[in-house]
Structure 1
Amino acid sequence: MPAPNVIIGAGINALVAAADLTARGKSVHIFERGPTPGGAVRTEELTLPGFRHDVAAMNLSMFAGSAFMAKHGAELAKHGVEFVPITRPFAQALEPGDHLGVTTDVEETLSTFHSEADKATWRSLMKAFPQRASVVGGLLGTPMRPSPLLKFFWKSWRVLGTAKSLEIAQFLVTSPRAWLEENFTDPRLQTALSTWGMHLDFAPDIAGGAIFPYLEAMGGQAMGMVIGKGGADTVTRALVSMIESHGGTITCNAEVDEILHKNGVATGVRVNGKEVEASTILAGLAPKHLLRMIGEDSGNTRFNKGLKKFKHAPGTMMIHLALNGPVPWKADALKAFAYVHIGRTMETASFAYAQASAGLLPETPLLVVGQPTAFDTSRTPEGKHVLWVQVRMVPADIEGDAAGEITAKDWKNAKNPMAERALDLIEEQAPGFRETILAQTVVSPLDLEKENPNLVGGDQICGSHHLNQNFLFRPVRGFADGRTPLNGLFMIGASCWPGAGTGAGSGTFVSQMIK
């Protein structure tokens, strides 16, 4: 009997790869070091009984629109996956009482704009969105291998022509600020869209970041957002059920200590001290952990060096709140949005990013406030709510406090005062907010890494997406298609192309390479 395909880790990419492989009759075994599968796509009672909080990922739009769902969605539905569509995906809380919101109703969106010229530009961008999205989205859905890339570029050029192709190429290397200032006049709108770049480590002035504000803005307007019914773990539970129904197995609390290889071929893994043979190995690991498990003798010095030099984004702090009622936003319309970003200007984001990158606790961190129970009441007892708060960005190693108020330089003692700083920003936008809090759980960047070592330094996107570490260079030039120098060993996960998010692109790409 041939050895199984072994997958290290049970994150979203690993589960998708396993589901696709087992559906094709392949033998698969997953080893997960944690007590439950799911990685960043889990939902747990983190504050009070009956209050279900998404541990990390909340937005499942990428998964719902993924190539995996297009292929296996009908079967996954039989295993219980269920989504909640959202027509008001995101808003920006600006000066207290002022907001700008994007909804699937164009007129409702434009009613929050202050500039007639910007309204006209928005309509023009929406008109061009289908064609441009098919190209940009097509690139994100293309494996970084010569043949698929050549086919993609040839097809795109035939549709667009030279001038439009060059325009899109220029757009892909443009910073958020440059693109926003070129297209819009209202600083409020520029701020609202630039915030999306921070989700993927793109402060306003970093080249290559314009694509994310564009896709989220236009995609949110055109299609809204999707979250999981009952929690993001609806995806995890359905994938596990699908895998097991096809004979795949998942072992949790299983620490992979080493990837075994001989003469340039991966042969198995050592799990909890025991050797397990494998026909192929899919490693859902951050680069530094992959290097640790294969050792320094992969057979390719450049590959080893690339894994060592792989850069992670600044950390994130999470605050999970159980509330007695909805957030009493000063701008009442904010109650109806899935995400509320809190940050008054692009400079707020720029300063926060620069301070965090310098090891300082930001004076005014950018907040991503998720309100899932505004749309999904099944997550809490009747009339109650959960709030999901990302504090972006914060340093993993604290050198000081930009505001000069927090003296602690270790997260054990700094996380609560830093959480209070974040809650102050919400209170400013929603007077009386603190009175609604029933319980809270604060998770520092180091807490995130302790629970999931792939989140190095609390980096929830598992590696910066800056241009030198994206596209053909993610995670290492020459190995952007998931292959490694060891035959039979593949890389999957957010550190691989096409990067972070719930779209599970790398798991899909690699599973299709295994015949």
Structure 2
Amino acid sequence: MLDAVVVGAGPNGLTAAVELARRGFSVAVFEARDTVGGGARTEELTLPGFRHDPCSAAHPLGVNSPAFRALPLDRYGLEWAHAPLPMAHPFDDGTAAVLSRSVAETAASFGPRDAGAYRRLVTPFLSRWDTLAKDFMSLPLTALPRDPVTLARFGLTGLPPATWLMRRFRDERARALFAGLVAHVIAPLDGFATGAVGLVFALAAHARGWPVARGGSQSISDALAAYLKDLGGAVHTDFEVKRLDDLPPARAYVFDTSPAAVARIAGLGRCYDHYRYGASVFKVDYALDGPVPWTAEEPRRAGTVQIGPHAGDIDRALRAASREGRAPEHPFLITVQPTLADPSRAPEGKHTFWAYGHVPGGWDGDLTDAVERQVERFAPGFRDRVLARAVAGPPQFAARNANYVGGDIACGAASGLQLMLRPRLSLRPYSTPHPAVYLCSSATPPGPGVHGMSGHNAAKAVWRRLRQTT
């Protein structure tokens, strides 16, 4: 009998398996796809030699993850590659605000009226970032806070809606960039704790940047899997699990799946019927003949570029997709330029690029033209550099990854109380009604992103039980 079986080989499932194996438990991972990775994969989606990340590409939470930083993943090929700027946010006048490693450079890009307000917002937390990240990403009660005073101060600042926090800024440049940071979790700006979302992304950039993984996001998953195997764990791919009886006997079963899937497979009935799935995205991967011809200089150096341009535009796009059930006419775009930091992703002189906008869950339309019109607005001539494109909307995301119900890449709506209290109101969110079954996906705290902390936290709950029953 194994100590633990993990279902799903995404970053959270692999991290949970590694954490258990490091503590001497016997572990096996079962993955339905033919490779490990989940939302952290890399494939040639367009043309030979162009390596694209079908889902996640930029990793501000990955490089800052307390779980990843505690593991020797660099020995297994994981290398973070940084563009000169983490992020830029262009405007119609040909200028751009930036999110730089430097707080001073970032503040200066907002203009004199908001520079001081921004410095006052982030500086008190930046000096305590590593401790704050451990406390924030380990909640709920998987560990006592290491710095309860800073965590409480962060909560007072971040738990109100982002719209409240943005009142500190007087001009549009700072408001727009901060609104774009919140939109990375597909949450309307007036939701609970959305201020914390924007703050976390800003602090992560100042602390360690917004890198890509050299060679592609797949290298994160491959490094975790290789380390697991060296620890004695096993990884089985092409193995779809439909019920617990499909798996070998184990003392614990840990699911890197949606709540709906674990309920179905483990026979948990309707315990997660209240769990809400949210909006989706429409994503286009591009093979380009040259770099994106941005009008502003800053986006030409930025790994990630947000295209809004204004906070009101971003809010309207999010509301359309999340609350009104329609695709926005002018989508807010998150775009990534991986080859600025990692030229190995494309043939010499060529580039990869991706962009996505938000759409309702299950939407089956085509947003390609709207996406490209938005890019052309800030990079005239962009379409002339497109060699090939690969598009994916909600049906394609749902087909590629069973965790993305209705195409929801966050594995559950990151809005309202569900942003923090997922998958249900409980002091033990990783446990389920079945005493041997646990959940470790992005449907558990701290939520979406390639950071492995949901798996890390779930593994703590599992090994505590296993030690009690030894």
Which interval holds the TM-score relative to the shorter structure? over 0.9
Whether 1:432 aligns to 2:397 is: no
Matches within 5 A, 1:78-97: 78-95=75-92, 97=94
Deviations, residues 243-276 of structure 1 (Å, cap 9, x unaligned): 22222222212110113xxxxxxxxx42xxxx52
1:124 aligns with 2:120: yes
Any conservation in 1 of the 2:78–2:220 contact (CA below 8 Å)?
yes
2:158 to 166, 172, 177: 172
Which runs of 5 or more structure 2 residues have no equivalent in the other structure?
none
- What is the rounded CA distance, in whole Å, between the counterparts of 1:218 and 1:81 in structure 2? 22
**Counterparts of 1:121-200 in structure 2 under 5 Å?**
121-130=117-126, 133=129, 136-145=132-141, 148=143, 151-152=144-145, 155-157=147-149, 165=152, 168-181=154-167, 183-200=168-185
Task: Please name the residue that 2:218 is paired with.
Answer: 233
Q: TM-score, with normalisation over the residues of structure 2?
A: 0.93
| 1:312 counterpart residue number | 277
| CA deviation after TM superposition for structure 1 residue 105, in Å | 3.5
Match of 2:345 in 1: 379
SS in 2 for 1:348: helix
Determine if the alignment matches structure 1 residue 287 to structure 2 residue 259: yes
8 Å CA contact 1:87, 1:224 repeated in 2: no
Q: RMSD in angstroms over aligned alpha carbons? A: 2.1
2:423–2:429 Cα contact (<8 Å) kept:
no
Q: Does the aligned pair in 1 maintain the 2:10–2:256 contact within 8 Å?
A: yes
Letter in 2 for 1:45: E
Once the two structures are superposed, the pairs formed by residues 484-503 of structure 1 within 5 Å of their partners are 484-503=432-451
Q: What is the alpha-carbon distance in structure 2 between the residues aligned to residue 487 and residue 107 of structure 1? A: 51
- Alignment partner of 1:89: what SS? strand
Aligned residues: 462
SS in 2 for 1:112: helix
CA displacement at 1:479 relative to structure 2: 5.5
For 1:476, the equivalent position in structure 2 comes to 424
- Output aligned runs, 1:452-471, within 5 Å: 452-471=401-420
The CA deviation at 1:217 is 2.1
Q: Percent identity?
A: 27
One-letter code aligned to 1:389: A
- Please show how residues 10-159 of structure 1 align to structure 2 within 5 Å: 10-73=9-72, 76-95=73-92, 97-114=94-111, 116-130=112-126, 133=129, 136-145=132-141, 148=143, 151-152=144-145, 155-157=147-149
SS of structure 2 residue aligned to 1:387: strand
Deviation string, structure 1 residues 209-263 (Cα, Å, up to 9, x no partner): 001212222332343222101111111111111122222222212110113xxxx
Partner of residue 248 from structure 2, selected from 276, 294, 304: 276
Report the equivalent of 1:442.
391
Paired position in structure 1 for 2:332: 366
Check 1:498–1:106 CA distance in 2 against 1; reply closer, same or farther (3 A cut).
closer
Offset, 1:58: 1.2
2:8 aligned partner: 9
Larger radius of gyration: 1
Report the secondary structure of 1:174's partner residue: coil
Classify 1:112/1:296 alpha carbon distance in 2 versus 1 (closer, same or farther; 3 Å): closer
* CA spacing shift, 1:324–1:89, aligned 2, 3 Å: same
CA distance in 2: counterparts of 1:362 and 1:188, whole angstroms: 22
8 Å CA contact 1:101, 1:112 repeated in 2: yes
Amino acid corresponding to residue 101 of structure 1 in structure 2: V
Q: Partner letter of residue 137 of structure 2?
A: G
SS in 2 for 1:512: helix
Segments of 5+ residues of structure 1 without an aligned counterpart are 260-268, 298-303, 399-410
Distance in 2, matches of 1:152 and 1:108, equals 32
**Partner Cα separation in structure 2 for residue 243 and residue 222 of structure 1:** 28
SS class of match (1:360): coil
**Aligned equivalents of 2:260, 2:220: Cα separation in 1:** 28
**TM-score, scaled to structure 1:** 0.85
- Which amino acid in structure 2 is aligned with residue 363 of structure 1? E
Q: Indicate if the aligned counterparts of 2:4 and 2:25 stay in contact, CA closer than 8 A.
A: yes
Report if aligned partners of 2:268, 2:433 keep a CA contact under 8 Å in 1: no
Change (3 A) 1:87 1:209: same
My pick for the range that moved more, 359-368 or 209-218, is 209-218
